[in-house]
Amino acid sequence: MCRHAAWLGSPRPLTSLICEPEHGLLRQSYAPRLQRYGTVNADGFGMGWYDPAHTEPVRYRRAVPVWTDANLPALARVARSRCLLAAVRSATVGMPVEETATAPFTDGRWLLSHNGRVTRDAVRDLADDLPGAAESSCDSAWLAAAVFSRRRSGLPLGEALAEVVAHAGAKAPEARLNLLACDGASLAATVWGDTLFLHHDDRPGGGVLVASEPLDERPGWQAVPERSLLLASSGGVHVQPL
């Protein structure tokens, strides 16, 4: 399993997801509070953010524990955006531990993270030439490639996630399919087999924070129901059954 988090709202640095909160992703990498499978997330980490000067997101990934990267604190302080996504990884047994297997995965404007596990056979028929289209041979990269294929065909981000999760979940009932994706202007997430929490501040300067588990002790964190799709944009936050 993994832990991931994303922000959509007024500009803020990546430290707001990783090391500033008491229970940010740095701490969740070695002491997660609500993780159902696995005890540490030391098989890599990654983060992505959007710079107005570029059409595609900026991405930084490593296949080492997040606490071992001496360059990360300074980088996370200056990586500032209206839309952020970060993840720490606990690799599925048998999956490679390498940068290409580490979230976030990307295609064009999109970033995607997967918290869970699924057999590759359950997603093999979701896209043409899936092994060749994926960044890595790991299960999460295959899921990402399937979602990106649907986005390129014109499906909205939330519908692309929902279709892939419903298909994979039907073929592999034991799969855990918490996906978190963004495109710079919107977020979409699925809850299927693990926890996801939402903190929404609609006041000026606020925004939407989504995370596998609460990053701090502030009031207002809400658990997103199991088998749900969460959609967030400038128009608000919506949660619907999958």
Which position among 2, 19, 138, 182 bears the catalytic label? 2
Measuring CA to CA, which residue among 99, 132, 107, 134 is closest to residue 118? 134
Cα–Cα distance between 104 and 88 in angstroms, integer?
10
DSSP labels for 29-58?
HH--SS-SS-S---S-EEEEE--TT-SS-E
Q: Is 182 part of the annotated catalytic residue set? A: no
Cβ 174 vs Cβ 116: under 8 Å = no
Residue 25's Cα: distance from chain center in Å? 12
* Contact call for residues 198 and 209 (beta carbons, < 8 A): yes
* Residue linked to tokens 């918290």: 115
Is residue 192 within 8 Å of 164, Cβ to Cβ?
no
What residues act catalytically?
2
